[in-house]
Amino acid sequence: MASRVDITPAAAGVLRSLRGTHGPLMFHQSGGCCDGSSPMCFPEGEFRTGSSDVLLARLEVDGVEEPVTFWMSAEQFERWRHTHLTVDVVPGRGSGFSLEAPEGVRFLIRSRLLSAEERAALDG
């Protein structure tokens, strides 16, 4: 089945650990400078989404009870919707208020183009 967002095993491992410490989790994809263009991970509900946001995925993560939601602002999504996103993790330092930074890692988005079939399935 076509999806907009996947997660690497390494990133899933970090999510399992963060879930144990912080409870249910969410992502909001950031834009703009410095730590931007990166997925920010928060306790679910910490970041208030609204009518300006789009829910791209409910990520199923082995060992995490509930799905991890993945959000993006709607206007940013309009410029990203032709690409498939994979949440990965790399050694890193800072990241706004994202939860993983103190662990010495940073979530990172890797992208590929959606195929025509995937776009048809996802965009209807």
Partner 1 sequence: MTVYAAPGQPGSPVRYQDRYDHWIGGESVPPAKGQYFENPTPVTGRTFCEIARGTAEDVEKALDAAHGAAPAWGRTSAAERANILNRIADRMEANLETLAIAETWENGKPVRETLAADLPLAIDHFRYFAGAIRAQEGSLSELDDDTVAYHFHEPLGVVGQIIPWNFPILMATWKLAPALAAGNAVVLKPAEQTPASIHYLMSLVGDLLPPGVVNIVNGFGVEAGKPLASSSRVAKVAFTGETTTGRLIMQYASEHIKPVTLELGGKSPNIFFDDVSASRDDFHDKALEGFTMFALNQGEVCTCPSRALIQQGHYRDFLDAAIERTRAIVQGNPLDTGTMVGAQASNDQLEKILSYLDIGRQEGASVLTGGERADLPGELAGGYYVQPTIFEGNNAMRVFQEEIFGPVVSVAPFADFADAIKIANDTLYGLGAGVWTRDLNTAYRAGRAIQAGRVWTNCYHAYPAHAAFGGYKSSGIGRENHKMMLDHYQQTKNLLVSYSPKAIGLF
Binding site for partner 1 (CB under 8 A): 28-38, 40, 42, 46-48, 73, 75-76, 79-80, 83, 90-99, 101-102, 106, 108-113
Q: Which of residues 2 and 113 has its CB atom nearest to partner 1 in the complex?
A: 113
End-to-end CA distance of the chain: 13
Q: Which of residues 55 and 113 has its CB atom nearest to partner 1 in the complex?
A: 113
In this structure, what DSSP letter does residue 97 have? B
Q: Are 14 and 100 spatial neighbours (Cβ–Cβ below 8 Å)?
A: yes
Q: Which of residues 15 and 62 has its CB atom nearest to partner 1 in the complex?
A: 15
CA atoms of 28 and 22, how far apart (whole Å): 16
Q: For the CB of residue 92, give the shortest distance to partner 1 in the complex, in Å.
A: 3
Q: Are 22 and 99 spatial neighbours (Cβ–Cβ below 8 Å)?
A: yes
Q: For the CB of residue 88, give the shortest distance to partner 1 in the complex, in Å.
A: 8
* CA quadruple 9, 12, 13, 17: dihedral, nearest 10: 180
Q: For the CB of residue 63, give the shortest distance to partner 1 in the complex, in Å.
A: 22
